[in-house]
Chain A
Amino acid sequence: MYPAVFEYLKPSSISEAITLLQQHGEDAKLLAGGQSLVPMMKLRIARPRYLIDIHRISDLNYIREQAGQIRCGAMTRHVQIEESELIRDRVPMLCEAASAIGDAQVRNRGTLGGGLVEADPSGDYGAVVLALNAQMKCISPRGERVIPAADFFTFAYTTALESDEILTEVIFPFPDSNSAGVYLKLERVAGDFAIAGAAVQIGLGQNGVCSTVGVGVTGAATIPQKAVSVESLLQGKKITPQLIDEAGRLIQEGAEPIEDTRGSASYKKKALSAILRRAIAESLRRAEAKRSS
């Protein structure tokens, strides 16, 4: 099926885009990579009357290093993230998440901002921005604001963005130099949304105890979760196999996954526990390797 009739708008600046959003409110949708929105429109799950294509707005597609941060324009494609040496060097879990999305065609078109704003409960980027404590820079008629990742996701397919607000940039603070991270995902088939996914960044102090920790999980609930309970469990402790098991138990108890074609809720909880334990062990291994090199 073709999408229902819509009007195609192509602003050339952010302010113009915001004006259009103001005019059309809930009747409008922004078109980023279109990899989820367009199929939803074809199925008529989404029926925007106005489609605002933001491809013509310059300077929304970049990966920059700036003052101890990596700043990615919202229109940065998955493939650019996957192939960025800066990101691979500083926050490899972001590369890993990008390369686990869809297939090459999807990664060529799909964008970081689009993936985050879609807020699929099983999306890959959500776990990563939560683990890395990223910040979402947004612009609206009321000016600019920064939303911490932990406050960004509000419900399935819903974010803290107002209807006239645009996500323009995602800011990743450099993780501590003594830390390492990983994104792991269990999937039915390569490139599918996750059955369960976990992003873990662990820093090790002098004595080998966990000095910094960030944990985000996907597939655990209606929104990607920052696993605060796991973070506080690990913080300041020497990470032992027993502690990792305890983390697995904690996440399994707290998870409330949605049952869907990817699995039953009870299975997803157990799968999440396994993936999280593995991600902790792997980021610990990477952090230790870093320390001894």
Chain B
Amino acid sequence: MSYQIVGQSIPRTDNTGKVTGDTRYTSDVLLPGTLWAKTLRSPYAHAQITRIDTSRAEKAPGVRAVLTGADARGILYGRRYRDITVLAQDRVRFMGERVAAVAADTLEEAEEALELIEVNYQELPAVLDPVAALQEGAPIIHPDVNSYPGLPKPLESPSNAFVRDVWTRGDIAEGFARSDLVVENTFTVPRVHQAFLEPHCCLVWIDDQNRVQMWSPNKVPHGLKESMSAAFAIPAERIRVNPVAIGGDFGGKGAPVDEPICYLLALRSGRPVKMVMEYREEFVAGAPRHAALLQLKTGVKKDGTIVAHEMDAYLDSGAYGGFRPGAVVGGIAHAGGCYRAQHARISVSRVYTNNIPGGQMRAPGEPQGFFAAESHMDCVARKLGMDPLDFRLKNLIEEGESTLTGGHYRAIKAKETLKAAAKAAGYDTPKARNVGRGIAMGYRGPGAGNTSLKIALNPDGSVVIQTSLFEQGTGTYTTLRQIAAEELPCDPDEIQIEILDTDAGVAFDSGIGGSRGTRVASGAAFQAARAAKEELLGLAEKLLGWPKTETVFMGRDLIHKKTRKRQPWDDLLSRAGRSIVGESVNRDDDHSPVTAFAAQVAEVFVDTETGEVKLRCLTTAHDTGAIMNPVGHQGQIDGGVVQGVGYGLIEHLPVQEGRVGTAHFGEYKIPTVKDIPELKTVLVKGDDGVGPYKTKGIGENPISPVAPAIANAIEDAVGVRIRDLPITAEKIYAAMRER
């Protein structure tokens, strides 16, 4: 199938406003009488609040409302699993937990009032790592976990592991017994922050009709509305999430964060209340990617056949679990890998600790899991004396096989993708001293979801797409325009976008995330465009007497095939004196029948005197379906790879005794252009995919293999294995000296 506009590199429609400053973000929205909110945060990782005195703060200039835990009793919030208290209930569970809140006329007054709140704490023993949290006698951080709404399975006995998922196949003990070689490794990965430019923020106003009006950079506005409705037992129809631009997401802008406390402050003060988190607060109390510890054990035959594969992953959830859409972190189970094994046991636990809560970030769970699994695969290959490429090719799943966590897919292209990466990277070519090449893989299918979309064709000639998605920065609106322009057809630049906010009476929209945007929204745009065309044909039949079967579209004209007569739409609509609207509610809820493999090769040079790694080249190969917008697709690949480089070599939120040690971007470093080497992309294009154009997702696939590819390249270069991210020069230096 060939297309005119779909498949073209059309520039993003939201670029200009972002560059010129015209784009309106949450913090730009100001209502008359808006108050500023600030919250006081706990200085202890785990403590009992013995006294809280807000009397001085209440009398401070400009202060309109002061709240403590007593004002938020019995309220729990979260995306679906609800375990987060709006303000600490007598007990703080992490350093940075909100203890009290102030709304004042100015930000300065709110800040000053915070300093007048007196809190006494009695410290409690803290549990600061997930393994310790599972030990007998460890303090139970949430004794009431079984009462929390959305917990997938009640716990039989009190435990900090509030979610445990296990996948098994065969008999794992027998598998190890039958193996010629068993290799075990433990890997650790740190928390990393999404590093979006716009911190969490919101504006909440209870209007004169007693409706809750919210402005929030949330990419799942319907989810936010439902979360607020559930937390505060207010009917969902009383809540409206108004559209604003999202200033960077990277997976992190889907949960309620500041909205619940601002709602309570708005309720108390009777005024609109705004909060903009400082970046310091993002680092110490945002919702970063989970830290994790992963134990892997693999049994192989001498010929390299994997017989048994076992993984125990422990995600450090921190003090709360509700910042994720579900209680589980699904992605980490992917790290069972894309290899076959007759016997397997994959176990994932999400464990409460007294650390900063973990949240959602691009490909949640996957960079953690794939770092461990793909590093481990190299270790196994090396123990066997096999080239890691050959070892992978021997064990990768093929058509008809499923992953160890039960993923069934058609058109599996794991080997093809890996070979393409190896070839483009010159994997087999000679290398200089201290230069190494490493391979890693990943896979992920496009996510499922629902969205509503309308295409209105108006008598004045305008074409308007109405969408219930809030663009979070990946170019979704551009893709929607391309589809509408392709299908109608018309010029994409003429198409306007209108946002259907949560008041528009549309069905639940699952929002952006999970690499579902292109799949779900393109289906909706396609259906709506088709519906609009059908309506136009009906109109032509009615007004012009052209039977539908005899009428075709050419540009913005309808043509009657027999008479060769032309009629522009707009004339038809003018004659009819009305607009027509094509509508779609796309419920694309099924687990994707296809997945997309990614294979990467990192080439590094290691300075043996300092341990410094120079990433010289990173080659990434992706198994794709149709590509809607090549420049946008490549942007996702490059961005994902760069973020993966940060995860592999640079980024971490250092947490010691529960205290996050980075307070600003001067300390929390992310890669800049100078840190990024040549990036090569290979697209292994196929004609299988989902939706009307047969696409696959790309937003999350590129990030996961980067860190293990680098770790594997380092071992190839200088023979040391780093099992803990990020891979700093000092870790390599120390490992080289230990040999």
Contacts and interface: CB of A to CB of B under 8 A. Distances in A.
B591 interface: no
A291 to B, nearest CB: 27
A39 B610 contact: no
Contacts of B670: 189
A41 to B, nearest CB: 12
Interface stretch (A80-88, A128-136, A223-231, A268-276): A268-276
Given A1-B278, A195-B729, A261-B661, A189 B609 contact: no
B663 A43 contact: yes
17 contacts: A2-B111, A5-B108, A39-B664, A43-B663, A43-B664, A103-B672, A188-B728, A188-B729, A189-B649, A189-B650, A191-B674, A264-B730, A267-B730, A271-B610, A271-B729, A271-B730, A278-B609
Interface string B591-613: 00000000000000001011010
Interface string B606-622: 01011010000000000
A192 interface: yes
Given A1-B278, A186-B612, A188-B650, A267 B733 contact: yes
B662 interface: yes
A189 B649 CA distance: 9
Interface string A195-217: 10000000000000000000000
B672 A190 contact: yes
A76 to B, nearest CB: 22
B666 A39 contact: yes
Given A39-B664, A267-B733, A275 B610 contact: yes
Contact of A1 (B111, B612, B654): B111
A160 to B, nearest CB: 26
Interface string A32-56: 0000000100110000000000000
Interface string B465-491: 000000000000000000000000000
B527 to A, nearest CB: 45
Interface in B480-509: none
A270 B733 contact: yes
Interface string A275-291: 10110000000000000
A263 B609 CA distance: 15
Given A271-B610, A274-B610, A189 B671 contact: yes
Contacts of A274: 607, 609-610
A73 B338 CA distance: 61
Interface in B666-681: 666-667, 669-675
B729 A186 contact: yes
Chain A interface size, as a band, is 20 to 34
A248 B663 CA distance: 35
A250 to B, nearest CB: 16
A274 B729 CA distance: 13
Contacts of B612: 186
B280 A43 contact: yes
A270 B729 CA distance: 12
Contacts of A191: 672, 674
B734 interface: yes
Interface string B698-739: 000000000000000000000000000000111001100000
B267 interface: no
B52 interface: no
A123 B106 CA distance: 37
Q: Is the interface of B mostly helix, strand, loop or mixed?
A: loop
B107 interface: yes
A2 B728 contact: no
Contact of B280 (A1, A189, A275): A1
Contacts of A270: 610, 733
B685 to A, nearest CB: 34
B662 to A, nearest CB: 7
Interface in B394-422: none
Contact of A189 (B107, B278, B669, B734): B669
A263 B674 contact: no
A215 B674 CA distance: 27
B674 A190 contact: yes
Interface of B: 107-108, 111, 278, 280, 607, 609-610, 612, 649-650, 654, 661-664, 666-667, 669-675, 728-730, 733-734
Contacts of B654: 261
Contacts of A264: 730
Contacts of A277: 609
B290 to A, nearest CB: 21
A248 B674 CA distance: 28
Given A190-B672, A274-B610, A261 B667 contact: yes
Interface in A1-27: 1-2, 5
A188 B669 contact: yes
Contacts of A39: 664, 666
A230 to B, nearest CB: 17
Contacts of A278: 609
B36 to A, nearest CB: 11
Nearest to A271: B610
A39 B661 CA distance: 16
Q: Which of B610, B673, B729, B733 has the most CB of A within 10 A?
A: B610
Contact of A261 (B662, B674, B734): B662
Given A1-B111, A261-B654, A274-B609, 17 more contacts: A2-B108, A188-B669, A188-B728, A189-B669, A189-B670, A190-B671, A190-B672, A190-B674, A191-B674, A195-B729, A261-B667, A263-B730, A264-B730, A267-B733, A270-B610, A274-B607, A278-B609
A263 B612 CA distance: 12
Contacts of A275: 610
Contacts of B649: 189
A2 B107 contact: yes
Interface string A237-279: 0000000000000000000000001011001001100110110
A27 to B, nearest CB: 19
A202 to B, nearest CB: 20
Contacts of B663: 43
A192 B730 contact: no
A4 B661 CA distance: 22
Interface in A173-189: 186, 188-189
Which one of A192, A267, A277, A278 has the greatest number of beta carbons of chain B within 10 Å? A267
A80 B598 CA distance: 44
A275 B609 CA distance: 9
A278 B608 CA distance: 13
A217 to B, nearest CB: 14
B609 to A, nearest CB: 4
A12 to B, nearest CB: 29
A192 B649 CA distance: 14
5 closest A-B pairs by CB: A190-B674, A274-B609, A189-B669, A267-B730, A1-B278
A134 B712 CA distance: 46
Contacts of B280: 1, 43
Most buried by A among B107, B108, B733: B733
Contacts of B664: 39, 42-43
A90 B325 CA distance: 60
Contacts of B278: 1
Contacts of B675: 189-190
Contacts of B671: 189-190
B48 to A, nearest CB: 28
Interface string A49-66: 000000000000000000
A120 to B, nearest CB: 11
A186 B610 contact: yes
Contacts of B667: 261
B612 to A, nearest CB: 6
A103 B675 CA distance: 11
A29 B670 CA distance: 30
Contacts of B609: 274, 277-278
